[in-house]
């Protein structure tokens, strides 16, 4: 699939995925969502040697400033539900991806942009980043998981305040409240994201994928996270990676994981 709104740059096994609609503040329109869906469902899983993905926005103003409101004008109840479901399905692909996905939030992350950042496994913000779910200002609510994931990260009290007021918070507030992992100057954020993925890439690939599964299970109402952990633990103990990791520990050397 040729990409129009996504730029892909591979650097030493790390894919830097840039949402490329800077004139529209990288707003999430239908085409962008379809491209994200294809990328995470078809393209990225097929890439050999992939260490992880860094997701960011083009330009200096916005990560993603929201959804494309122009497309909302034609919605009715059913079309609105369909749009929200498609958006949630795409973001679940990101949240459940088997390699680390880091959001490098380099400006406004509002509405769908905040929801997109929360679907990633980790978040690094530049000092000018701003986060918020301002949908109530338009007379609607978040539809791509914002009412659920914001509570997961901030807790009910703070999340309820932000969801009902539509207020934005600064990068420093997001860090203090647990929404982001790091706040760094713009010139340092990408290097930090690469360093984190590089560190994770040295671990057992199967173990990383199973850890992501177990973490996600904690928030899935139809699954017992503890049971998922038990099954995932058992699955990892049967891998070649575990045998290699245990042997390397005993022999006091670095492990050579193969992902099997």
How far is it, in rounded angstroms, from Cα 154 to Cα 174? 9
Could you write out the three-class secondary structure of the chain?
Answer: CCCCCEEEEEECCEEEEEECCHHHCCCECHHHHHHHHHHHHHHHHHCCCCCEEEEEECCCCEEECCECHHHHHHCCHHHHHHHHHHHHHHHHHHHCCCCCEEEEECCEEECHHHHHHHHCCEEEEECCCEEECCHHHHCCCCCCCHHHHHHHHHCHHHHHHHHHHCCEEEHHHHHHCCCCCEEECHHHHHHHHHHHHHHHHCCCHHHHHHHHHHHHHCCCCCCCHHHHHHHHHHHHHCCHHHHHHHHHHHCCCCCCCCCC
How far is it, in rounded angstroms, from Cα 81 to Cα 113? 19
pLDDT at 68 over 90: no
Instruction: Give the confidence band of 91 by pLDDT, cuts at 50, 70, 90.
Output: very high
pLDDT score of 207: 96
Tell me if 30 is assigned to some domain: yes
pLDDT at 246 over 80: no
Domain identity same for 32 and 157: yes
pLDDT score of 64: 98
Domain identity same for 237 and 115: no
The average pLDDT across 87-98 equals 97
Domain identity same for 156 and 244: no
Catalytic site residue from 42, 115, 229, 244 = 115
The average pLDDT across 141-161 equals 97
Domain identity same for 224 and 183: no
Q: Which residues contact 43 (CB under 8 A, 6 or more apart)?
A: 1
| 161 catalytic per annotation | no
Structural domains counted in the chain: 2
| 240 catalytic per annotation | no
Q: Which domain holds residue 206?
A: 202-250
Tell me if 216 is assigned to some domain: yes
Domain identity same for 135 and 220: no
CATH number of the structural domain spanning residue 96: 3.90.226.10
pLDDT at 252 over 90: no
pLDDT at 249 over 90: no
Q: Which residue has the higher pLDDT, 182 or 230?
A: 182
The average pLDDT across 175-182 equals 98
Domain identity same for 96 and 156: yes
pLDDT score of 177: 97
Tell me if 100 is assigned to some domain: yes
Tell me if 131 is assigned to some domain: yes
Strand pairing partners for 123?
Answer: 103
Would you say how long the chain is, in residues?
A: 260
Domain identity same for 207 and 193: no
Tell me if 120 is assigned to some domain: yes
pLDDT at 50 over 90: yes
Tell me if 129 is assigned to some domain: yes
Q: What is the pLDDT of the chain when averaged over all its residues? A: 94
Tell me if 186 is assigned to some domain: yes
How far is it, in rounded angstroms, from Cα 215 to Cα 119? 13
- Phi, psi dihedral angles at 103 (to 5 degrees): -85, 120
The average pLDDT across 55-71 equals 92
Instruction: Give the confidence band of 240 by pLDDT, cuts at 50, 70, 90.
Output: confident
The average pLDDT across 127-140 equals 96
Catalytic site residue from 10, 35, 127, 135 = 135
Domain identity same for 101 and 213: no
Instruction: Give the confidence band of 20 by pLDDT, cuts at 50, 70, 90.
Output: very high
pLDDT score of 122: 98
- The pLDDT tens digits of the residues spanning 103-123 come to 999 999 999 999 999 999 999
Domain identity same for 32 and 91: yes
Domain identity same for 139 and 21: yes
pLDDT score of 223: 82
Domain identity same for 143 and 173: yes
Domain identity same for 38 and 82: yes
Domain boundary among 182, 200, 218: 200
Tell me if 256 is assigned to some domain: no
């Amino acid at each position: 699939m040729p990409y129009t709104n996504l730029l892909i740059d591979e650097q030493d096994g790390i894919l830097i995925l840039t949402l490329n609609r800077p004139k529209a503040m990288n707003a999430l329109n239908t085409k962008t969502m379809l491209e994200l869906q294809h990328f995470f469902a078809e393209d990225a899983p097929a890439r050999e040697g992939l260490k992880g993905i860094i997701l960011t926005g083009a330009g200096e103003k916005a990560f993603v400033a929201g959804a494309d409101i122009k497309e909302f004008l034609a919605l009715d109840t059913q079309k609105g539900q369909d749009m929200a479901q498609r958006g949630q399905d795409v973001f679940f692909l990101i949240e459940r991806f088997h390699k680390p996905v880091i959001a490098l939030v380099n400006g406004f992350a509002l509405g769908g942009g905040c929801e997109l950042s929360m679907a990633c496994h980790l978040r690094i913000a530049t000092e000018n980043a701003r986060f918020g779910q301002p949908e109530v200002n338009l007379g609607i609510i978040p539809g791509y998981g914002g009412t659920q994931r914001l509570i997961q990260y901030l807790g009910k009290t703070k999340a309820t305040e932000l969801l009902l007021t539509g207020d934005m918070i600064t990068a420093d507030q997001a860090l203090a409240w647990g929404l982001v992992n790091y706040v760094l100057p713009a010139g340092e954020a990408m290097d930090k994201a690469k360093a984190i993925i590089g560190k994770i890439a040295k671990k057992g690939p199967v173990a990383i994928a199973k850890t992501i599964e177990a973490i996600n299970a904690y928030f899935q109402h139809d699954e017992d996270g503890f049971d998922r952990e038990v099954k995932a633990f058992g699955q990892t103990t049967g891998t070649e990676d575990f045998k290699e990791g245990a042997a390397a520990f005993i022999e006091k050397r670095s492990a050579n994981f193969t992902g099997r």
